[in-house]
Amino acid sequence: MATKQEIEEGLEFIPKFDDNGLIPVIALDAETGQVLMTAYMNRAALDLTIQTGYATYFSRTRRKLWKKGEESGHVQKVLQILVDCDQDCLILRVTVDAGQCHVGYQSCFYRALKKNSSNELEFIAEKVYDPHKTYKK
Amino acid sequence: MATKQEIEEGLEFIPKFDDNGLIPVIALDAETGQVLMTAYMNRAALDLTIQTGYATYFSRTRRKLWKKGEESGHVQKVLQILVDCDQDCLILRVTVDAGQCHVGYQSCFYRALKKNSSNELEFIAEKVYDPHKTYKK
């Protein structure tokens, strides 16, 4: 069992998976720095990501490994993997094409809470592709 | 119960808390766009954050609300709250001073996996303050 010092200031990568065997992951556009999406990985997804150089996640709803872009073509080529102080969250710095979110936006974070409101959102981005064409639904 | 359409493309803010009543939150430096840290909020933490304009999280280890900076002074003034497509993750765009991570770095993500390694990290940032002085440990 690693000490707090080893986890926080050591050079060994010892990612902490939660009780469900998952670790949250933030995908960042390496070019713009924009947060594109968040997802989860289990150990197998992380290993595949490291081995192949392309982001593979674990889908909690479908209960299976999921290579980002396997259906849409919008893959994420991984340039760098960052880990936080307590090693329970990862950042992937990725190279991507246009349209990372399945709703049609470049980033999943396309809405913001309106100023002085606690429950009303506003759109802060424009769609960059038509998801109905991409996903053939 | 909101539909997928309402959640993904609607203007109502209906954050989805997990089985433990928590939602993951990414704090971004509004000036630089850098990811500073990730943490969790419960409903009360989110309400306090919206009401006060300063980030309040829920500490999973201490099982209590935690105003970021209450001990260190490194508070986060919230400029904007973003939500993702399925409304189960938030981004806070915050204004901060130097040193957001308790280990002494500006960001908690101060290490990266070494190129062509699956288990060796390297430091990618320098400390910006001495946490032993700040936290008086």
Secondary element (H or E) of residue B7: helix B4-9
Q: Which residues on adjacent β-strands are paired with residue B93?
A: B28, B80
**Phi, psi angle pair for A132, to nearest 5°:** -65, -30
Backbone angles phi, psi at A48, to 5 degrees: -65, -40
CA distance B30 to B1: 33
DSSP assigned state of B56 = E
Average pLDDT over residues B79-83: 98
pLDDT for res B40? 97
Identify the pLDDT of residue B135: 65
Contact A72, A79 (CB under 8 A): no
With contacts defined as CB-CB under 8 Å, which chain B residues touch A119? 12-14
The pLDDT of residue A135: 66
Q: Give the mean pLDDT per block of 10 residues along chain A (137 residues).
A: 94 96 97 96 98 97 94 93 98 91 95 96 95 72
- CA distances, B14 to each of A48, B46, B60 (Å): 34, 12, 22
Please give the share of chain B, as a percent, with pLDDT higher than 70.
Answer: 98
The complex's ipTM? 0.93
- How many contacts does A have with B, using Cβ atoms within 8 A? 114
A83 contacts B112? CB cut-off 8 A: yes
pLDDT of residue A119: 96
Please count the CA atoms within 13 angstroms of the CA of A1 that sit on its side-chain side.
Answer: 1
Q: What is the pLDDT of residues B10-43, one digit of tens each?
A: 999 999 999 999 999 999 999 999 999 999 999 9
Of chain B residues 31-50, which have a CB less than 8 A from chain A? 33-35, 37-38, 47, 50
* Confidence category of residue B72, pLDDT binned at 50, 70, 90: confident
CB proximity A101 to B under 8 Å: yes
CB contact under 8 A, B11 and A101: no
pTM greater than 0.80 (yes/no): yes
Measured between alpha carbons, how far is A48 from B16 in angstroms, rounded to an integer? 29
pLDDT recorded at residue B100: 86
Positions of E strands within B30-124: 35-41, 56-59, 64-67, 77-83, 90-95, 111-113, 121-123
**What pLDDT band is residue B59 in, cutting at 50, 70 and 90?**
very high
